[in-house]
Amino acid sequence: MQGLRRQLLPLLAWVAVALLLRWAVLEPRWIPSGSMLPTLQLQDRVLVEKVRTRLHRPLPVGTVVVFHPPQALQAVGYAPDAALIKRVVARAGDQVEVRQGQLWRNGSVVAQDWAAEAMTYSLPPLTVPPGHLLVLGDNRNASLDSHLWGPLPEGQLIGAAVWRYWPLQRFGAIRFSPTPDEPVPPRELG
């Protein structure tokens, strides 16, 4: 009996550490839809870093986030524990609009907004309220996102998608948008 306990205790300790890491630090997720094309493909597997959201640290514009559905989506049938993935395009205090097929933030066209094509919808000017983010899919014309249901409460965040681990041919960091003052290197376009 003591030999069995000696073997089980380390195993149980490792399981406890793994569960703690998954709950608080890093969580695997898979991509179920095409709303983030071309950045993330259907069935991609990503790692979601949860520390920044748990510590209430601001997420930069361009961060790909995973979150629970906001109330508006829960009201139409989304499970509260479901997970969605989109890109942060504006933070609290930013004024955002979509006009002429382009995303505008604080009066300027967003030069690199990761959209695969021009948007076929408009979004009247809105100021992102405190404690909220505006999130859009990279496949803007086929994404159920903030242009339809409004700003995302930060309390709904699970974390930031930081690494694609499957498929192996696309293994690596998930690209973030450059800041408005940062030039876009040619190899990162498209």
For residue range 92-147, what is the model confidence (pLDDT) as tens digits? 999 999 999 999 999 999 976 677 788 999 999 999 999 999 999 999 999 999 99
Residue 27 dihedral angles phi and psi, to the nearest 5°: -135, 135
pLDDT reported for residue 86: 96
Domains and CATH numbers, the chain: 28-178 (2.10.109.10)
Give the DSSP H/E element, type plus range, for residue 148: helix 146-149
For residue range 20-70, what is the model confidence (pLDDT) as tens digits? 666 666 788 888 888 998 889 888 999 999 998 888 899 999 999 999 999
When mean pLDDT is compared across 145-149, 158-162, 173-177, the lowest value belongs to 173-177
How many CB atoms neighbour CB 95 within 10 A? 13
Given 50, 86, 143, 177, which residue is catalytic?
Answer: 86
- Give the three-class secondary structure for 123: strand
Would residue 143 show up in a list of annotated catalytic residues for this protein?
Answer: no
